[in-house]
C-alpha cells in the first residue's frame, strides 16, 4: 500500500495518468529512520516545478494552496517520459492539434443536433427591402437555420430559401470523428482493435492475438521497464 489513503490501484492510476498526459509523474516519499520508504503520496504534475541548482542537484517545487513547498531529490519519486533528462515532454502539448480537431468535431456534431440538422442559407426575394423589412424577415424565418422547432414555415411572394453550408454527410463529420479517435490512440501507441474499432477487423483470432502481443512487446513492456527502473533508482535502497 502506498499510503493510508490510496489503494495501490488508485495510486498507480493517478501516476500513470500524469505520466501519459504530462510526461511526468511525481510522488512525495516518506522515509523512516533507516531511510526506507514507508509512504508514497502522489503529486499533481501541473503543480510541480523542477529546478536544477548550480551544483547540478535537483529540487522540486510543489505549489499547494498558494504556498510553495521545496523538496530535495531524495524526497520525490519522479517517473519521467522522454524529454531533456530533467523533465519529460508533455504529450498533451504535442497532440494539441489532434485533440483540437476532435473537440471541434464534437462541438459541430452537438450544434448540428441542437439545430435539428438545419444549415445556414440565403433567403431570396425578388425585390428590394428596407433594413426594417430585412430584420423582420430574419426574425420571422430564423427557424429555417437554427433551433429545434418543427413548425411549418410558409414562404410568400416568390421567396426562396437556399442552404449555404455543406451537410454533415458532405463534410464527412462521422469519418472525421472516427479518425480523431484513431489519431489520439496513435499518440499513446494503442492499436485500433484495442479501442473497440471493428471497422478494420471483426474476427477475434490469430491476427488479434498478434496485435495484442505486439502491443505488449513494443508499447506496454517499455512502459513497465521505465517504471521498474524508476522505482529501483529512486525508491528502493540497496
Question: CA 40, CA 235: separation in Å to the nearest integer?
Answer: 9
CA distance 120 to 128: 21
- pLDDT (tens digit, 9 = 90+) per residue, 153-171? 555 566 666 665 555 554 5
| Separation between Cα atoms, residue 102 and residue 183, nearest integer Å | 9
Task: Please check the confidence at residue 204 and state whether its pLDDT lies above 60.
Answer: no
pLDDT score recorded for residue 200: 60
Nearest to 237 by CA among 102, 74, 127: 74
Going by C-alpha positions, the residue among 38, 42, 1 that lies closest to residue 22 is: 42
pLDDT value of residue 61: 96
What integer pLDDT is reported at residue 181 of this predicted model?
A: 75
Considering only residues 140 and 7, tell me which one the structure prediction assigns the higher pLDDT.
7
What is the band of 202 on the pLDDT scale with cuts at 50, 70, 90?
Answer: very low
Q: Is the pLDDT of residue 99 over 90?
A: no
SS3 200: coil
pLDDT band at 180 (very low <50, low <70, confident <90, very high): confident
Structure confidence by residue, pLDDT tens digits, 6-47: 999 999 999 999 999 999 999 999 999 999 999 999 999 999
Amino acid at each position: 500500500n502506498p499510503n493510508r489513503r490510496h489503494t495501490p490501484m488508485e495510486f498507480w492510476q493517478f501516476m500513470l495518468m500524469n505520466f501519459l498526459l504530462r510526461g511526468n509523474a511525481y510522488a512525495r516519499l516518506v522515509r523512516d529512520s533507516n531511510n526506507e520508504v514507508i509512504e508514497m503520496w502522489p503529486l499533481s504534475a501541473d503543480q510541480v516545478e523542477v529546478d536544477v541548482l548550480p551544483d547540478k542537484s535537483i529540487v522540486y517545487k510543489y505549489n499547494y494552496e498558494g504556498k510553495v513547498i521545496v523538496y530535495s531529490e531524495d524526497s520525490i519519486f519522479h517517473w519521467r517520459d522522454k524529454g531533456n533528462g530533467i523533465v519529460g515532454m508533455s504529450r498533451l502539448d504535442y497532440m494539441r492539434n489532434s485533440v483540437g480537431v476532435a473537440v471541434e468535431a464534437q462541438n459541430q456534431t452537438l450544434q448540428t443536433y441542437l439545430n435539428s440538422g438545419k444549415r445556414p442559407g440565403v433567403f431570396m426575394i425578388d425585390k428590394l427591402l428596407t433594413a426594417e423589412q430585412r430584420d423582420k424577415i430574419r426574425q420571422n424565418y430564423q427557424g429555417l437555420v437554427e433551433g429545434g422547432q418543427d413548425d411549418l414555415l410558409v414562404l410568400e411572394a416568390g421567396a426562396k430559401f437556399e442552404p449555404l453550408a455543406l451537410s454533415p454527410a458532405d463534410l464527412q463529420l462521422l469519418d472525421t470523428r472516427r479518425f480523431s479517435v484513431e489519431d489520439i490512440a496513435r499518440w499513446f501507441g494503442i492499436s485500433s482493435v484495442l479501442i473497440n474499432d471493428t471497422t478494420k477487423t471483426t474476427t477475434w483470432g490469430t491476427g488479434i492475438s498478434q496485435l495484442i502481443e505486439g502491443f505488449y512487446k513494443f508499447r506496454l513492456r517499455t512502459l513497465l521497464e521505465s517504471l521498474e527502473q524508476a522505482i529501483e533508482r529512486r525508491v528502493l535502497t540497496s
